Structure 1
Amino acid sequence: MHVIWTRNMFKTILHLLLTFLISLRYKITVKGLDKILAKGRKSIVFMPNHPALIDPVILISLLHKNFEPRPLADEGQVDKSWVRPLMKTLRAIVIPDLSKNGKDGRDAVLEGVQGIIDGLQQGDNILLYPAGRLYHSRHESIGANSSVSLVLKRVPKARVVLLRTTGLWGSSFSRANGMPSLTKHIALYVKTLLSAGFFFLPKREVLIEFAEPEDFPFGDEKLHINRYMEDYYNKIPQYNTAVPYYWWQGRRAKQVAEPEQQNINDDTSHIPAATKELVQAKLQELSGIETINHKDRLAQDLGMDSLVLVEYVVWLEQEFGVVLMNLDGVQTVAHCILAAAGEFSAPENGNELDVAEAWFKGKSKKALVLPEGESVAEVFLKQVEKNPDKVIITDQISGPKTYRQLLTGIFALNGGMEKLPEPQVGIMLPATVSAVVSYLSVMFAGKVPVMVNWTVGAGNMDYCLKNAGVKHVITARALYEKVKGQGADLDALGVRFIFLEELAASLSKAAKLKALFQAHFSVRKLKKADV
């Protein structure tokens, strides 16, 4: 009894806190909720559009008191220490990101759908986003997603309530200004709240409409159901709207230009005919459509959702040895063909960082002159001594790093690398700062770095690792899970995978300070390494 009371008290406090925080920035108008409440409070599927990351928070604050809906939550968004307890309290149904988890993710998604069905049959209310992703433009696009269709076929008596939110497109939580994050602008939010004395912050007007349509196409095919919902969500235009953060900037919202949509190359004229035929045959098998054109859209024209696309990705790896890292950008038959040829390149979730000014510091038209040296290690150390604070490498995850920062990373990992018994150490990482630091750390530990290509398939990887005498492979857990989920049996390779995230987390503050000290004063130690 005490546990239940504590849980309910926590829910009440959380609800009040969310409502208060939301009210500081948003002026919310709600229409139609009273009609939904009048018809009952059980077995309702609330299906909203998804213009911004903040709208689930707003909706839960509105619905929790009367409906306590169980939200579907993306694993990537909720797998954080401060979010997990909240999701547990809300009894969220967590599903993986298929673009990261592949085949294993597909099975987990189907388990999540079954969780929705079981919940509705037991009288629970569910908060389900039909599109399964944020707006990529000012229009909602559900495509061929099958979650709603699967649920309604199994629970035909469930009440369907559509929610349309307008006013959030253009906020810092939307993709109108790049890939958003719930924590990315915390410093800005705190600063603006303090400057406005908490209660005088300019507010963004948000309209949330509830509707339980009598003509909802319950028994129709998924594409018809999805088009019906898209028509409802897009009936009221969404505009890229900017609202000032500071009271002295005024309080009026203004409409700004829509973000430019990135076009992905779809020229397949140079791809061998045999490759095109294999891909088209596979897509015909998966979609059940006989006549396929290169311009056909996978969702709208072929009715393929992300669950079916995962099957294509697994086949792609088995047939061509290509691991497709970004499912989100694969939109057409041409993209599938390019992927099979290893030439598909899509924007990585629109999350590109601006190039830091430090990257251009000291830019010169003079020819690049490398110091003399008998090895990569010797040349690298000479550059460290000559330009310790010069930015030399960057990526979209780590940002720009100087020679000194690379050196700090090397010293931090060096001890762990030296303890490995074999002279060869594998590295399975994409072209990132982490890959470079791992390579140099292994090298300065007196061992041979062996770069592992995960796109060649598990069989070829097994042969190469055994042939090279590799027993330990450095990698990232996210990459490991993704490759494993896309069909590669990494556990059967007979090697121990060392995850950089866990290695970094195991370093004590003393170890980090020691690495920083060594990067400034103990470069000579690396000169003595048996490279």
Structure 2
Amino acid sequence: MKNWVNRTFWAICRFLLSFRYRVRIAGLDQLKGLQGPTLVLPNHPAYIDPAIVSSHLRLHKPLRPLVFSGTYRMTLLRPMMSMVNAFEVPDLSSHSRDAQAKALQMIEAVAERLRAGDCMLIYPSGRLQRGNREVVGAARAVHEIVRQCPEINVVLVRTRGVWGSMFSCAETGTTPNLAQRVLAACGWVLANLFLFLPRRPVSLHLEVVKPNQLPTDSREAFNSHLEKWYNTDGGQTPLFVRYHPFLGPSEVEFGKATSGVDIDLEKIKPKTIALVNDLLQSHLGRPLDPQDLAAEQKLEDIGLDSLDRMDLALKIEHQFGFRSNAVSGTLGELWALADGQLAQAEESLEAPEAWRSAVLAPHTPTILADTIGEAFVRRALQNLNQVAAADTLSGVLTYRRMLVGVTLMARRFAAYPEKHVGIMLPASVAADVVFFALQLAGKVPVMMNWTTGPANLAHGVATTDVDRIVTSQKMIDRLGIEVEGAEYVFLEEVKAGIKKSEAVATLLATYLRPNSWLKWIAQQDPEETAMFLFTSGSESLPKTVPLTHRNVLVNVQDGLEILEPSPTDSLLGFLPPFHSFGMTGNLLLPHLSGLRSVRYADPTDAAGLVRTIAAYQPTMVFTTPTFLSYILAACRGEELHSLRIIVTGAEKCPDAVFAKCRELAPQATILEGYGITECAPVVAANLSHHSKAGSVGKPVKHVEVCIVDIDTDQPVAKHQTGMLLVAGPSIFKGYYRHDGPSPFIEVAGKQWYKTGDLVSQDDEGFLTFQGRLKRFLKAGGEMISLPALEEPFSRSFPPDEEGPRVAVEGIETEEGRHIVLFTRTPLTLRDAGDLLLEAGLRGVMRLDEVVEVESIPVLGTGKTDYKELRKLITPI
């Protein structure tokens, strides 16, 4: 029955195609009497040729075409896919580990079907033809399948006549939109009343061979053989055939293929290019000639197929911390990926109507309770129909919808026997919902910082007794991180387990008995731990910071008094929730005070952030100077004009950033502040009506400060530099399960938290940050521990009789951090990067340079003299 449906479908298809295409076939006699599993390998000049080939070739069994998921799942084509028994394969236009695994599984699955006797149709190039010649390049799938199945028949098909049609890339140089072209084609058929369509001549040339007639010893030789066969006539000349005898265009101008990726090569640092080239050659296992290391070099031409390119791009993402969905096609695109430029090729963004037309009811932005869960519920009940948050995945959520989502999640989280539950999600509406759901369920969220690598994640899990980490399948697929000691709870699976009836009942409850939520909230003490965050510090393992409800909510209230927001304000939040600044400023402050907020998941995608600001028109943004400089660099016009307040902290904001901000966001006031994770985090900030250039502002309302001499612990006079001590209700009570020295000291009979930072204070009370006492740097607000970076090298290259063999030192400049490995042992930057990856360090935990020296300077005590090493560092 299925065979009959298949043959009938293709017969109808062949009849309909005949109105437009006059098909001639050479070598058709070779298919007579052909038995056994058969693999049909055509070239792919246009989207229409699969239908032409499949409808005109008659084998002893129905031909199963391989179809990419994007096409297979199109609403218009889905019924046809089922009728022709198409074989769905993963779309490799975006890279991820899941796509890699599925592609490899696809090869095995196709080989298995051939061994079972099926007839399969595969395009060896794996993509639509971009120029007048078919390029198989380094594609591996067909070679691997033929190598695994030596007994099959191979039918080579060379299609001519459709290069230049509306279904090809010839006209515009870019891939046509299939759905639009199908609709356009149907329109022309109707306009011609079926019978008067000008016909396009098409030829199919067939050749049947056995695998032993093909050079299967190597992928390069096999693919080269196919390319020569497909292009035996020297390539194709684009042919235009009118769509109507009298209407429409009579001729077209054919374009040239373009990559569609905008790259600014001048902005890419030489060291970035050198490191990417090094990674490429390491991946290939051979050196490349200088002429092959050009920006326009196609990766497929030097032996990288789509899976190889995907794997290499993921390595670059891990090493440099930037990401892009697109699979790079040229070496220049790999350089741009490492430099963070590829995101600039994204499409324009428009805020949803629900965000733009939101009715903003008057309310007082303040905290309504003394525990986080209750404060959220009371705010949600007060603002039920007001917009709460938005992002591109979840859309626009009102407080009513958000309360429903939080409640549905909380019911499931409440069933977990453990108290501590991990969260590993980027800035997103989903992360907000999960965080508040855990609060309502009476759990303590443990905010996992994935950028520090698996080793530090495993340490955090072990320290806090986390058994589960709530995350996203898509995120884990991208990161490829496994956390030892904990299992993942995927949001996609949790959501799939929620019945519509339960969701509708919960939604109705917000109308019929909203006050029932106040009775359902888990009762908590404001002095109980509300969350765990992690520091980077100067040790090799992060310390665990427990913050109570009182710690955090007092700091949020202080933040509201600094900002003095109105109900018409809205906020852009992109700092991840594991970041103390992101947690307090981006997550808690807007949701608990009733301010609208839009989320963006990738803080390094400056172009995407600029588009989001332009589309959603937020008035406030919390950021770090590094990320702010990225945003300003990506701004091209008036995109930032909606901003009136930019709060920056986590590192000193350079004068150049202030100047650029005055130019591109003239309505905005930059409020520079100072904070520490242990302080929830804001300690000091400038006010819009009372600020001082070069300072980090005055201490916030609920923070007391004391500045002491670093040697005597005695208070210093005004304008003198000393170590900053802080006290107050927003300061934590001590590290969790920490057996090191106490972070508190007693001065004048009072306990103070020792920040380890050096500051001075003027007569008006403004604090000026002078430097850091411990050996760590900051980049993008993230703490970078130099001892942690040094540890894998000192372990691999321990000291000998001549002293230390390695040392890591770094400096901060206005352009950013510059971290150097000094070594007496020959070591390339690539080898050093591999060693760090093996140690579980990635993202911001990377080196910028390796310098070989004759000796490592040491102090009289035998310890490394880092001060002397610092003098040897030259920023690049």
TM-score with structure 1 length normalisation? Answer: 0.69
- Give the CA deviation at 1:284: 1.6
What is the CA distance between 1:479 and its match in structure 2? Answer: 3.6
Residue type at the aligned position of 1:277: A
The residue number in structure 2 matching 1:237 is 238
Query: Cα–Cα, structure 1 residues 401 and 137, in superposed 2: closer, same or farther, change >3 Å?
Result: farther
1:460 paired with 2:477, answer no
C-alpha displacement of 1:315: 3.8
For residue 496 of structure 1, what is the aligned residue in structure 2?
487
| 8 A contact 2:198–2:242 mirrored in 1 | no
What are the superposed Cα offsets for residues 470-513 of structure 1, whole Å, 9 maximum, x if unpaired? Answer: 322223334434544xxx4x2x6222322222222222232021
AA of the residue aligned to 2:24? G
Which residue of 1 is the match for residue 2 of structure 2?
Answer: 10
Q: What SS does the corresponding residue of 2:302 show, helix, strand or coil?
A: coil
> Are 2:136 and 1:145 equivalent residues in the alignment?
no
SS at match of 2:158: strand
Are the equivalent residues in 1 in contact too, given 2:261–2:342 (CA < 8 A)? no
Mark the CA change 1:461 to 1:139 in structure 2 (over 3 Å): closer, same or farther: farther
Quick one: distance in 2 between partners of 1:237 and 1:78? 28
Q: Equivalent residue for 1:309?
A: 309
Q: Which amino acid aligns with 1:280?
A: N
Residue 466 of structure 2 aligns to a residue whose secondary structure is coil
Give the match for residue 388 of structure 1: 385
After TM superposition, give the deviation of residue 393 of structure 1 in Å: 0.8
Equivalent residue number for residue 4 of structure 1: none
Q: 1:419 aligns with which of 415, 422, 431?
A: 415
Deviation at 1:311, TM superposition (A): 3.7
**Matches of 1:67 and 1:508, distance apart in 2:** 43
Change over 3 Å in CA distance of 1:241–1:425 after alignment to 2: farther
CA deviation map 1:121-168 (0-9, x unaligned) = 887533112332457899976553233455567769733113455645
In 1, Cα distance between the equivalents of 2:200 and 2:398?
44
| 1:69 aligned residue | 63
Tell me the CA shift for residue 416 of structure 1: 1.0
Match of 1:361 in 2: 357
Q: Secondary structure at the match of 2:439?
A: helix
1:267 aligns with 2:262: no
Give the whole-Å Cα distance in 1 for the aligned partners of 2:298 and 2:76: 37
Query: Which residue identity is paired with 2:379?
Result: K
Residue equivalent to 2:864: none
Q: Taking structure 1 as reference, are residues 63 and 480 closer, same or farther at Cα in structure 2, changes over 3 Å only?
A: farther
Q: Deviations over 1:286-305 (max 9, x none)?
A: 33324353514342553321
Taking the aligned partners of 1:59 and 1:162, their CA distance within structure 2 comes to: 10
**Aligned counterparts of 2:77 and 2:516: Cα–Cα separation in 1:** 43
Matched, 1:518 2:512: no
Give distance in 1, aligned partners of 2:181 and 2:513.
38
Q: CA deviation at 1:373?
A: 1.6
Contact 1:418–1:445 at 8 Å: present in 2 too?
yes
Q: How does 1:41-120 map to 2 (within 5 A)?
A: 41=34, 43-49=38-44, 51-52=46-47, 56=50, 60-63=54-57, 68-74=62-68, 95-98=89-92, 102=96, 106=100, 109-110=103-104, 112-113=106-107
Name the structure 2 match of 1:438: 434
Q: 2:277 corresponds to which residue? A: 280
Closer/same/farther in 2, CA of residues 130 and 10 from structure 1, 3 Å limit: same
- Tell me how far apart the structure 2 counterparts of residues 204 and 399 of structure 1 sit (CA, whole Å): 46
Kept in 2: contact 1:323–1:455 (CA 8 A):
no
Post-superposition shift, 1:109? 3.6
Which residues of 2 match residues 191-202 of structure 1 at below 5 A?
A: none
How far did residue 262 of structure 1 move?
3.7
Deviates more, 1:147-156 or 1:42-51: 147-156
Q: Which residue of 2 aligns with 1:299?
A: 299
- Give distance in 1, aligned partners of 2:419 and 2:427: 23
The offset of 1:422, in angstroms, is 3.0
**Equivalent position amino acid for 2:223 in 1:** K
Structure 2: unaligned runs, 5 residues or longer: 216-220, 523-548, 550-876
Which residue is equivalent to 2:23?
31
Task: Please say which of residues 67-76 and 97-106 is displaced more in the overlay.
Answer: 97-106
Q: TM-score, normalised by structure 2?
A: 0.45
Q: State the secondary structure of the residue aligned to 1:358.
A: helix
Q: Which amino acid aligns with 1:29?
A: Y
More helix by share: 1
Distance 2:198 2:356 in 1: 38
Query: Aligned AA for 1:496?
Result: E
Distance 1:136 1:345, change over 3 A: farther
Given that 2:13 and 2:51 are in contact with CA atoms closer than 8 Å, whether structure 1 keeps it comes out as: no
CA contact (8 A) 1:19 1:61 kept: yes
TM-aligned CA deviation for residue 516 of structure 1: 1.9
- CA distance in 2 between counterparts of 1:57 and 1:449 reads 54
Partner deviation per Cα, 1:295-332 (whole Å, 9 max, x = no partner): 143425533212222442454466x2748552x34233
RMSD: 5.4
CA distance, structure 2, for counterparts of residue 48 and residue 462 of structure 1 = 49
Question: Residue 155 of structure 2 contacts residue 207 of structure 2 at CA under 8 Å; is this kept in 1?
Answer: no
- 1:180-239 per-residue CA deviation (whole Å, 9 max, x = no partner) reads 67xx999x99xx99xx9xx98999988764223799x96546367448747989725388
495-504 vs 115-124, which moves further: 115-124
Structure ranking higher on relative contact order (CA contacts 8 Å, 6+ apart): 1
Q: Secondary structure at the match of 2:156?
A: strand
Once residues 202 and 519 of structure 1 are traced to their aligned partners in structure 2, the CA distance between those partners, rounded to angstroms, is: 62
SS at match of 1:331: coil
Q: What amino acid does structure 1 have at the position aligned with 2:488?
A: F
1:460, distance to aligned residue in structure 2 (A): 3.0
SS at match of 2:157: strand
Q: Which amino acid aligns with 1:444?
A: L
Bigger-Rg structure (1/2): 2
Q: Structure 2 CA distance, aligned partners of 1:56 and 1:506? A: 39
Change (3 A) 1:390 1:87: same
Asked if structure 1 preserves the Cα contact closer than 8 Å seen for 2:134 and 2:230, the reply is no
Q: 1:407 to 1:316 in 2, by over 3 A?
A: same
Identity of aligned residues (%): 22
Q: Give 1:508's aligned residue.
A: 499
Asked whether the 8 Å contact 2:300–2:329 carries over to 1, the reply is no
Matched residues in 2 for 1:450 and 1:241: separation? 64
CA contact (8 A) 2:42 2:159 kept: yes
Give CA-to-partner distance per residue, 1:377-431, whole Å, 9 cap, x none.
Answer: 6478536744715484130x44444443333322332311222233333333444
Deviating more after overlay: 262-271 vs 147-156: 147-156
Residues 262 and 355 (structure 1), Cα distance of their counterparts in 2 relative to 1, 3 Å cut: farther
Shift in Å, 1:515: 2.3
Q: State the alpha-carbon separation in 1 of the partners of residues 228 and 407 from structure 2.
A: 56
Instruction: Flag structure 1 segments of 5+ consecutive residues without an equivalent.
Output: 1-8, 244-249
Going from structure 1 to structure 2, the CA distance change for 1:385 and 1:436 (only over 3 Å counts) comes to same
Structure 2 equivalent of residue 5 of structure 1: none
Residue aligned with 2:343, SS:
coil
Distance 1:122 1:49, change over 3 A: same
More strand as a share of residues: 2
SS at match of 1:473: strand
Say which is worse superposed, 410-419 or 93-102, in terms of deviation.
Answer: 93-102
In the TM superposition, structure 1's runs of 4+ consecutive aligned residues that sit over 6 Å from their partners are 21-26, 79-91, 118-123, 135-141, 174-181, 199-207, 230-234, 238-243, 253-261
Q: 1:330 aligns with which of 328, 331, 334?
A: 328
Offset at residue 436 of structure 1 (A):
3.5
Q: Deviations over 1:324-370 (max 9, x none)?
A: 552x342333433444456642657x7x8765333322599x9x997
